Structure formats: structure tokens, C-alpha cells
Amino acid sequence: MTNHWVDIRNANVILSMGGNSAEAHPVGFRWVMHAKERNNAILISVDPRYNRTTAVADVHAWLRTGTDIVWLGGLINYLIETGRFHHEYVRAYTDASHLVEEGFGFDDGLFVGYDPETRTYDKTNWNYQKDEQGFVVTDPTLEHPRCVFQLMRQHYSRYTVDMVEQVCGMPRKKVLQIWDLIAQTSAPDKTMTILYALGWTQHTIGSQIIRTGAMVQLLLGNMGMPGGGVNALRGHSNIQGLTDIGLLSNLLTGYMGLPAAELQRYEDYMKVRTKQPLLPGEVSYWKHYDRFFISLMKDWYGDLATAENDWLYDWLPKLSQPLYDVLYAINQAAKGEMTGTICQGFNILASFPHKDKVLEGLSKLKYFVIMDPLEVETGEFWKNYGEYNPVDPATIGTEVFRLPTTCFAEDDGSITNSSRWLQWHVKAAPGPGESQTDMAILAGLMMRLKKLYQDEGGAFPDPILNLTWNYTNPWHPESEALAKEANGRALRDITDETGKVIKRAGELLDDFSQLRADGSTACGCWIYTGSFTEAGNMMARRDNADPYGVGTTLGWAWAWPANRRLMYNRASARPDGTPWASNKAYIWWNGERWIGADVPDYPIFTPPSAGVGPFIVTQTGTGHFFASEQLNDGPFPEHYEPMESPIDRNPLHPDNPLAFHNPIVRVFPSDRDHFGTNDEFPYAATTYRLTEHFHFWTTHALLNAIVQPEKFIEIGEVLAAELGIAQGERVRVTSKRGLIEAVAVVTKRMVPLQVDGRTVHQIGIPLHYGFKGVARPAHLTNSLTPFVGDGNTQTPEFKSFLVNVEKL
Amino acid sequence: MRGDQINLQNIVARSASITPSPQVRQGGVEQVTKLIDVSVCIGCKACQVACMEWNNTRDEVGHCHGVYDNPIDLTAESFEVMRFSEYENEEGDLEWLIRKDNCMHCAEPGCLKACPAPGAIVQYANGIVDFNSEHCIGCGYCRAGCPFDIPRYSERDNKAYKCTLCSDRVYHGLEPACVKTCPTSAIMFGTREDMLDYGAHRVEHLKGRGYENAGIYNPAGVGGTHVVYVLQHADKPEIYSGLAKDPQISPAVEAWKGITKPIMSAVLGASVLAGFFHYVTKGPKEEPEDDPDPENAGRAREIDRHDGEDRP
């Protein structure tokens, strides 16, 4: 979230799209209800289904799954052409005025630079024009034909209301009604918040859907504002922490990146990663990349990492693939090119698409380790569970080890929520039986690996043998010790620019401005600096005082970065430093410094007259409509159809087959045979969670099983009548990849949509239920879903695929 | 909430009993009310789970019946269920009306009037209508007497059960479990006066949002209820999964209460006496360790086992 849970109550309009917040986040949803009560806020629900959020929404519209960019792109067009955007904000705080290189262009669904052979773009021309000093050329009048504003206007001129109606299947009257409500938040005293979740992420165009939402918010001047923002409601209590701490294969901690194979030299890596300002005087915070990176290497390798050996850059792995994501790993395993796998807290058989392929991959491994508190499906992939897992164990040679872990309440630690709050929790009970904490298991693995390397040597033992491991009990590092390591400490006395000592050697750091690029600081995760200081464990704080009455409780736990609760909050004030509106006052310039309800996201002594931009992490200080080369599929989001589409063309580019699906979609050749067509599988399906369950965990809990015991699908009354399916009857759902059987929930909440000249029926499939646990056994939903991912994040397309349905 | 609000001496009505209630302790007890605001409810069923946890009941793992409702109906182990109904309003717009169904704690409780077992059903001064299971004889008359069809008979122990409004929690100054767990504050609890005030405020809010017929459901036919709803369409309570439009205690129950009951009580008294003589002459019934019905016993053990395992 750019904002935070409690801040939702400051909104005037709440757009719930690409998520079903009441369903998946019922506790956080209280703030939506507060906004309705306090501000008379309007809740808008746009979704393929009329869902639990819709039940309390003021306005609702059905949308065909996977067409969000068309709807949001149409909204951008509407806001620009009606002039209902926040003009001063857009001029002052965004890149609308920046000129784009002449070589950039877009034609018939493809941006310049596309290579159909490699299915990648050469992004060289996707950039701003620069002057001889290397600064971006701008036109503050926004009239230059090459300025971002005009290019954006031109790009979305194709996204007319008619096009939205045709592609999304939403009647134009409804479209215009909702857009009008949203446009009202272009006023400085009104804000809209966007709440989204995996309904936006899990598409082959997922990253770009989210970006389109961010562009809408920039146009409306809702970024950095209380009650505004683009807010990802994270689906797992600590999934924010997972990305923060860099647990994706291409990441280091704090959103630093692991180098690609071509960056063998430290200088080359730093050149790519260090971002210098592209406008004079701007902050461009990633210019300090060296401080974060060197402090990380000092944390890992201590005294061994020196300037002379490039801080042991050579010891870091270099990526030969863009990333070793889960799709890649499964594909390798299925090809028989992977020896073993450790699954930690990951029920991969149930959670990843195309179950048969996952099963094939797991069955070809030599060994497989599962770490989980529960006996999940994945640990028993080799076992025959009748129709739900019809395997022959005799044919599977994989050796499987189950390591029972504790769950969150059985260990101390922090959980980072969607609001970026690190909240410390204390062990409440010992784990059952032989379970051990994840930390103890991994530390044990590390100690054994180290010993093996010591005893037997190996090809490259140095990074393991020399890893800093100074824990009281090396077999079980304490949570607090790890938290302090993430925070970082001074290795020598460090001084400010006047030479005054600000930290003594050994002391914990207060914030990331104290990190140094000379090896005098060590820090495990720079964005977490300040979470555990000499003053104590900031994450354990529980002061809910809210002195400004805006829901900002700076004494409650700790938020990254720098305990800041609302990102880009400088944008809540006008360029002159006064709030845009008195009811939205958040931080402001008091003549000497920035003050207000939050930690300013800005240099606190830089006066408004200096003209420094509010988005201090970008190189221009502005919010970007134009993504430059940051995304793989284009600087402006463009609609492409899901990999399995209920229509036969992309109505935006009917004659260009290359622009039917995302041109850079993540797909492996062997999976192309496993995509179905709408002749055979006529219905558009989408998957989701239910309030009563959390993935495949709570089907092991009796109470949850009681309140939602059995797998079902949701099907509209019209289609059910056509297929002769009555309420509560059993049906079989098939896709090109497999089948499930379930009870039919026949409902008015799903309706046929008119799309591109045909009728499209949608089917809703909850992802829960498997063959383990106390709920009724069922086929895994991911038997159906396609093995294809977003071209940026590799996230699978769980939300849009094709199925057929028949009565049993 | 003060503990004396359910002082056991503060019983104001008692089933099948002509013994007058204690009169000396007066005042200090305020009437309580639970308010369920249907317009704020997201149907998450957290209340259902909290209810089972607090009362330590575990219903069966049933089936999906083609709707979100589960368990599909109230049982002796589900004192409340959420009922989901899809309603197309006059403008043709769809509304998904989700109502938490449980005992309404009537000011004039039909169950209490119908109950032939002395003291099995009581009404406290604070308004809570409670079942004292040790006195229940399992005749099922309470269900017949209830205009909301709430009490359910248990095959396990031949007794009737329903929501107690967490009288045990309220006695100790706590709100009912469902109220405590509700994430959107759709369920509120407090003095009757406060809740009706709050309900009136919510009704005004809903009217401001275009729900002209919003109102509080607090039906006069049973003397008002200590569980009230805020409804978007108070003129049509029946659209909320058949909420009674004008609930009344059945005339048969009134008649039974007025005339038949003393006679029936005498008959029941005779059978109790017969039991007593049976006990004296034949000795106590052997109490088996487990339920004699192997299926029930198995289930009881299963429940015990899960109690320990039901970790979050």
C-alpha cells in the first residue's frame, strides 16, 4: 500500500477493483465502513462477480475478467477529454511535461522495438529526451506533441466508452455513472482510494493493470494524499515482508537487485543500479544505491568485504536467466533438469497452475523437502488419493522429507502487513510434537553445509564458509538478533558532514541516512533501518495516539521507510507548501521545516521555493505516467487479451495477431499445447478466495470447515438454465489441463455479458479445498489453471482462463 | 456492563412456574440489546465461528447446498447462522441481503410461555432469555412457541438449545462473543436505550443514502426484542430470508399458557414422581462413560480430539 489500512477511512470514494476486500480482508474492511460512516464515502465495486464487497457497495458493475486496462484506460481518456483531472497537480508533480525521444512510438498494438523471434522489446527509445547536460527536456505548457501528456492522450484516445462497452461487457450508462463519481475526486478536497489485490496482479498483463490504476490516481491528484493512493491488499499476513527482505530469486534485500550474468564487474553493476537525478536538484534516492549495497555486503561478510575486493561482489550469484521464478523451477523439474527442491511454507501442488505439470515436476525430482506446520497436499503428492490425486506411488522415485515447522504464534518475530507496518509478536505457545522453527531448520542446514564444505571442499565454498554467523546459538539464531541485523549498526564511529560523531562503533542505526558507502556500516535490509534502534524494538511499540485525528499512529509498531505511513506525502501540499485543502491537510511547510501528521517523505529542511519534486525515489522527482524502460511490455499500459480468451481477437487490434495476447507473455514452448480455445471451452473462468478459508490451510481447521465445508463453483442463473443445472447439483468443470467436480452455486450475482458481438458467461471458482484436512475432499482448483505468467513478474494467470461446465 | 445485570436473583420470568420472582432487589439493572446492522454486515461468518468457540460447540462438517449459507440451518450446535438472500429491488438492481439469524430475546418470549418444564427457560431483568439446560425435558414446545423458529433439539442429550446472548459473558461484564469478533461493527451491544439511539442514527444515515424505508426491526407483537436489526427495507422484513413481518406468539401457546399448562404440569409432575419411585425401587441408572450410541460416542470423542488440535 502507498497509504495504509486506517487511512482508508479518509477517502471520499473507494474503488474496489481487482480485489474483493470484504471477502479476503474482512478485518481491514472495517476502515471502508468507517469511511462510509464518517465521510459518507461512496464504495464502488467493479468485478466479474457481485461479491461480498458488492453487498455493501453503493455502486456496482460487472466486468469481464482481464479487461481492467480497457476500463481504466477509458477512464484516463474520459478524465483528459472532459478536463476533469487535477490540473495543477499534474503540471507540477508528474512527468506530463517531460518530452519523450523521437524514436518512441506505438503502432497497431506494439511499441517500437519488438522482436517477434525473442518476444522481447528493445527498449532503447523508451525514454525522455535529454539536453546536453543529461537533464530531461520539459514543456510546462503540456502542448508539445512529444510531451508525455500529449502522447498519453493520444494513446488512450482509442479507449472510448464504446470500446469499453464492447470489450468489458459493461453498459455505457453504468460506465459513465462510475467515471463521473470517480472524476469528482479531481477536486483538491476530495480523494479516492483504490483497493486492489490479486484480481489485478494475476493476469498476463497484471503489472500494467496496476500501473493504469496508478496513472488514474496521478491524474486525479490522489497520490500522496490522505484517503488516496494505490493500495495493494496483500494476500498473506507477511507477504509484504517476503518481498521487502528480497525472497524473490532476482532480488536482494530492500528491493535491490541481484546482478544479471552480463554484469560480471562491480562497476558495471553499480552503473546500472545507481540512479542519478534527471532534473537539476532532484533527490533521486536510488543515487545512494552504493550505501545500501555495501552495507549489505558488510553485514554478510564483515571485515572480509573491502573496497579493494569490490565488497566481495564476485561472491554474489549472477542470474543466467532473467529470474528463477516458480514457473521456471517447475518447468525445469518437469523437464527432468532439477535434482531436488525445498518447499518452505509453500503448498506448491495446490497453489501453482496446471497441477498435472507440477505433479510431473515433483515426481521427477531426486529428493523433495517440505517445511510446513500442516500435512499439506504437496508433501503427499506421491500418494494416491483416489480421483483427487490419482497417482501410482510405485512409479514415483522422489524421496520426500517432511520437516514440521511451528506457526507464527509459536515463535517471536515480526510480520509486515499491507500497510508496511512491522509488528512484533511474542511466542504464545511452544510448537507441537517435533516441530521446529523455520529459523532453526535453516540454521541447521547452514551449519551442516558449512561442515560439509570444510570437510570435503567444493567448487565454490567461500560464500558459505565466510558468511557472518555470530549468533549466541548458531543452531538457532534469535529473532531479535536477526531483527537487529536487518536494522543495521555502525562498524566504526560514523560522523556527519561537520565531523560530529553521530554513532559509536557497534551502535544500532536510527535511519538509513546513517548508512555509509565506505564500509563503516553493516545493514541487512536498508528499508528496515530504524526498526530496532538503541532506543529498543520499535516494532513492538503499541501507542495508538493519533494527535492529528487522521488515523496516523506513529507510535504504533514501525513502518518502512523511516516510520513513514503515507508514501509521497509531500504531494499532499501544494507546490507552495500549504495543504491542497484544509480537510486533507497532512504535512506542510511551516516556514522553517516540513511538519504534520506523518514523517515527511521529503528532505525536511528543503523549502518549497527550491522546487524539489515530491516523488523523491524517481530520477525526475515526478510521478511517472510514462514508465520508460521499467516495464517489459511498454511505457504506457495497453490491453491484451488473456492467454485463453472467450473472444477471438483483441478488439483494439483486430488485425494484428501479435497483439492479441501480451507480446512478451511468460510462456514455455511445451505449454502452448495446453491452452484451450473458446470453441471447446466457451466460458471465462476466474479463481478467488472465500472469507471462510485461507488458501489450503483452514480446510485443516474444523471451525472453518463447518462454515464452508465443500468445494463449489458459482454460475449465473442464465447459463445454469441453459445447461439444466439446478441449485446444489454437482457439476464437472474442465479446462485443457484438467478437471474438477464441485457443487453448483446458481446465482443472480453472475450475469452473461455482451462482449465483441457475442455473449460471454463467466464462472467463479474458489481456490480452496484439496485432498487433505477436515473439509470435504476435492479436486485442486489449480488442476484447471494455465501455466503462463505476467511478462514482468511471472505471476501466473489465475484470474482469466477458459473452461467448460457440464452437469454430472 | 455490570455483573449484577444478570444476577441470578434477577430472574423476572420463569417457565412453568407460579412461584413469584424475587422482588426485593430493585433498580440498577438496565435492559440490554444487541443491534445487528444488516447494511454493514459483509457475511464473513466470524460471528458464527466465535459463537461455536465460546459455547464450545462443533457442528457437523456438512455439504454445500448451492448457497453460501452453512450450516444450512440452525442446529443444537449452531446457535446462529448467516442467511444470504439475493433480492432484486424495484429498480431491478440486485441486492445481496445477509442476515445473522439467532434468538431475538423477545420481551414476551413465546418459548418461555410454551415451556412446561419449571425453570428451564428464564428471563433476566436485563432482557436476556436463557435456557437452563439442566431443567430441560426435551419436549420441543419451546420451538413450537417461538415465532422466529429458533430453538433446536439435540439428539445427543434430548435437550433444546439456542443463543443465550452469551449470558455468561454479559454476567461478567463482557459483550457477547459475536459482538466482540465482528470486524465491521455490524453487531453492537449495549443498553437498550443506547442501541435504539444508535439504530435511529443508522436509519437516518441510510435514508440519506436513498433507503427511504430503512428502519429498526423491533417487533411489537412480541413486546419488542432484545436483538434488533437495522434493515435497509424495514417495510419488507420477509425479503431478509423470511424474517417474520409481524411475529406473534401463536394463539395455541397463549391458550396453553393460560389454561392447559397447570394441568399438563401436573401430568408431568406425576411422571417425575413415577421416575422417582422407579429410582428408589430399582436403583440409579448406570451412566456409561461414553454415549451408548456408538456413532454419537465416536463423534463426541472426535470433537474432544479436535478441541486440542484446532490451532489457528
Render pLDDT for B106-129 as a digit per residue (tens, 0 to 9): 999 999 999 999 999 999 999 999
β-pair type (A120-121, A114-115)? antiparallel
No. of helices (H) and no. of strands (E), chain B: 9, 11
3-state SS class at A561: coil
CATH number of the domain located at residue range(s) A657-807 in this protein: 2.40.40.20
Cell of A581: 485543502
Cβ of B42 within 8 Å of Cβ of A52? The answer is yes
B150 and B283 both lie in a single domain: no
A744 — contact with chain B (CB < 8 Å)? yes
The span from the CA of B68 to the CA of A537, in Å, is 44
Q: Which residues are CB-contacts of A184 (< 8 A; sequence separation ≥ 6)?
A: A12, A13, A190
Asked if residue A199 has pLDDT above 60, the reply is yes
Q: Are residues B134 and B158 in the same domain?
A: yes
Q: Is residue B53 part of a domain?
A: yes
Cβ proximity of A101 and A127 under 8 Å: yes
Amino acid at B59: D
The yes or no reply on domain A326-456 and CATH 3.40.50.740 is yes
Would you say residue B84 lies in a domain?
yes
Interchain pair A746, B66: CB under 8 A: yes
Q: What is the pLDDT of residues A13-47, one digit of tens each?
A: 999 999 999 999 999 999 999 999 999 999 999 99
Alpha-carbon span B82 to B73, nearest angstrom? 9
- Show the beta-strand stretches assigned E in chain B: 11-14, 32-37, 81-88, 94-101, 121-124, 129-131, 152-154, 159-161, 187-191, 215-217, 227-231
Residue A802 per-residue DSSP state: E
- In angstroms, the CA A78 to CA A67 distance is 17
Rg value, chain B, Cα:
21
pLDDT in tens, A89-113: 999 999 999 999 999 999 999 999 9
Sequence-ordered list of residues with C-beta below 8 angstroms from that of B275, at least 6 positions apart, any chain: none
Could you tell me which of A599, A633, A595, A602 has the C-alpha nearest to residue A616? A602
Grid cell of B107 as nine digits: 420481551
A572-578, long-range: CB < 8 A, 24+ apart? A572/A224, A572/A225, A572/A226, A573/A608, A574/A88, A575/A88, A575/A92, A575/A608, A575/A611, A576/A608, A577/A607, A577/A608
Structural domain contains residue B227: yes
Name the β-bridge partners of B121. Answer: B131
- pLDDT at residue number B271: 56
Average pLDDT, chain A: 97
Q: Which residues contact A316 (CB under 8 A, 6 or more apart)?
A: A258, A259, A463
pLDDT score of B25: 67
Statement to judge: residues B242 and B265 lie in one domain = no
Q: Quick one: pLDDT at residue A775?
A: 98
Q: Check residue B29 and give its pLDDT.
A: 81
State yes or no: pLDDT of A600 exceeds 80: yes
Q: Is B75 at the interface with chain A, CB within 8 A?
A: no
| Contacts for A543-549: CB closer than 8 Å, 24+ residues apart | A547/A597, A548/A596, A548/A597
Q: What's the Rg (C-alpha) of chain A?
A: 26
Q: Residue B8 has what pLDDT?
A: 61
Summarize pLDDT for A1-19 with one digit per residue, the tens.
999 999 999 999 999 999 9
Best interface-test mutation with B: which of A5, A703, A747 has the largest number of B CBs within 10 A? A703
Look up residue B72 and give its amino acid: I
Q: Do B87 and B147 sit in the same domain of this protein?
A: yes
Of B264 and B251, more confident: B251
Does residue B94 sit at the A interface (CB-CB below 8 Å)?
Answer: yes
Judge if B283 and B140 occupy the same domain.
Answer: no
Residues A658-675, mean pLDDT to the nearest whole number: 97
Closest to A573 in 3D by CA, of A54, A41, A88, A36: A88
Please give the Cα distance from B286 to B293 (Å, whole number): 15
CB A181 within 8 A of CB A75: no
The tally of domains found in chain B comes to 2
H-helix or E-strand spanning residue A747: strand A738-747
pLDDT tens per residue across span B51-82: 999 999 999 999 999 999 999 999 999 999 99
Q: How far does CA A371 lie from the centroid of its chain?
A: 24
The predicted pLDDT at position B312 comes to: 36
Identify which of A54, A691, A709 has the shortest CB distance to residue B61.
A709
Residue A282: strand, helix, or coil: coil
Are the C-beta atoms of A245 and A487 separated by less than 8 Å? no
Q: Is A718 on the interface with B (CB under 8 A)?
A: no
Write out pLDDT tens, residues A686-736: 999 999 999 999 999 999 999 999 999 999 999 999 999 999 999 999 999
Range of the domain at B211: 3-251
More confident residue, B288 or B131: B131
B256 located within any domain:
no
- At A433-468, the pLDDT tens digits run 999 999 999 999 999 999 999 999 999 999 999 999
Count CA atoms within 13 Å of residue A105 on its CB side: 5
CATH code at position B147: 3.30.70.20
Are the beta carbons of A134 and A144 closer than 8 angstroms?
no
In terms of domains, do B195 and B299 share one? no
Each domain of chain A, given as residue ranges in start order, spans 326-456, 657-807
The verdict on B204 touching A (C-beta cutoff 8 Å) is: no
- Whether B294 shows a pLDDT value over 70: the answer reads no
| Residue B43 in contact with partner chain A when CB distance is under 8 A | yes
**Does the pLDDT value for residue B268 go beyond 80?**
no
Report the sign of the C-alpha dihedral through residues A241, A247, A253, A255, in that order.
negative
Cell numbers found for residue A765: 471458482
Is the separation of the CB atoms in A405 and A345 below 8 Å? yes
Question: Are residues B283 and B232 located together in one domain of the fold?
Answer: no
Which of the four pLDDT bands, split at 50, 70 and 90, describes residue B23? confident
Q: How far is CA A114 from CA A111, A126, A148, A319, in A?
A: 7, 12, 21, 23
B236-259 pLDDT, tens digit per residue, is 999 999 999 999 998 888 776 655
Contact assessment for residue B37 and residue B214, using Cβ atoms and an 8 Å cutoff: no
Cross-strand bridge partners of residue A685 = A763, A801
- Decide if B288 is inside a domain: yes
Amino acid sitting at position B61: V
Residue pair A565/A7 in contact (Cβ under 8 Å)? The answer is yes
Q: How far apart are CA A613 and CA A92, in angstroms?
A: 8
- Judge if B103 and B131 occupy the same domain: yes
Q: Choose among B46, B52, B66: nearest Cβ to A743.
A: B66
- Quickly list H helices, A322-405: 326-334, 348-351, 355-363
| Residue A727 to residue B86, Cβ atoms within 8 A | no
A613 vs A694: CA distance, rounded Å: 42
DSSP string of A615-643, one letter each residue: -TTSSSSSB-SS-TTSSTT-SS----B-S
Q: Single out the residue of B4, B309, B210 nearest to residue A774, CA to CA.
A: B309
Chain B environment of A29 (Cβ under 8 Å): 42, 183-184
Is residue B67 domain-resident?
yes
pLDDT higher than 50, residue B3: no
Residue with cell 527509445: A125
**C-alpha torsion sign, points A85, A86, A91, A93:** negative
Considering the domain architecture, whether residues B106 and B204 belong to the same structural domain is answered as yes
C-alpha torsion sign, points A215, A216, A222, A228: negative
Which residues numbered 764-783 in A keep a CB inside 8 Å of some CB on B? 774-776
d(CA B6, CA B128): 8
The answer, as to whether pTM is greater than 0.90, is yes
A730–chain B nearest CA distance, Å = 9
- Find where cell 514523517 sits: A599
B63 touches chain A (CB under 8 A): yes
Q: B88 vs A748: CB contact, 8 Å cut-off?
A: yes
Measured CA to CA, the distance from residue A683 to residue A719 in angstroms comes to 10
User: Three-state DSSP class for B261?
Assistant: helix
The DSSP element (H or E) to which A55 belongs, if any, is helix A52-55
Residues of A in contact with B230 (CB under 8 A): none
pLDDT at res. A3? 98
Task: Kindly write down the DSSP assignment for every residue of A676-705, as one continuous string.
Answer: --TTTS-EEEEEE--TT--TTTGGGSHHHH
Residue B179 belongs to a domain: yes
Query: Cβ of A29 under 8 Å from any chain B Cβ?
Result: yes
Q: What's the first-to-final CA gap in chain B, in angstroms?
A: 30
Residue of chain B minimizing CA distance to A703: B49
Nearest to A309 by CA among A294, A320, A299, A319: A294
Contact B183 A708 (CB under 8 A): no
Query: Which of B10, B21, B24, B164 shows the shortest CA–CA distance to B80?
Result: B164
Residue closest to A395 by CA, chosen among A429, A421, A364: A364
Q: Which residue has the cell 442464465?
A: A718
| C-alpha–C-alpha distance, residues A227 and A6, integer Å | 9
Mean pLDDT of all residues in A541-546: 98
Does residue B63 contact residue A710 with C-beta atoms inside 8 Å? Answer: yes
What H or E segment, with its residue span, contains residue A194?
A: strand A192-196
CB contact under 8 A, B63 and A776: yes
Asked whether A735 and A784 are in contact (CB, 8 A), the reply is yes
Mean pLDDT of all residues in A109-130: 97
pLDDT score of B275 more than 80: no
Residue A235 is predicted with a pLDDT of: 86
Q: Is the peptide bond before B251 cis (omega within 30 degrees of 0)?
A: no
d(CA B163, CA A788): 50
Q: How confident is the model at residue B311 (pLDDT cuts 50, 70, 90)?
A: very low
B198 and B172 housed in the same domain: yes
One domain, residues B56 and B102 = yes
Residues of A in contact with B58 (CB under 8 A): 702-703, 706
* Same domain assignment for residues B246 and B287: no
Nearest to B98 among A27, A55, A776 (CB): A55
* Residue B171 within a domain: yes
Closest Cα in chain B to A693: B44
A671, three cell numbers: 505449454
SS3 A517: coil
Pull the grid cell for residue B74: 440452525
Residue with cell 499445447: A673
List the Cα angle B240/B241/B244 in 5-degree steps: 75
* pLDDT tens readout for residues B120-162: 999 999 999 999 999 999 999 999 999 999 999 999 999 999 9
Contact A729 B66 (CB under 8 A): yes
Q: What percent of chain B has pLDDT over 90?
A: 69
Average pLDDT estimate for A285-307: 98
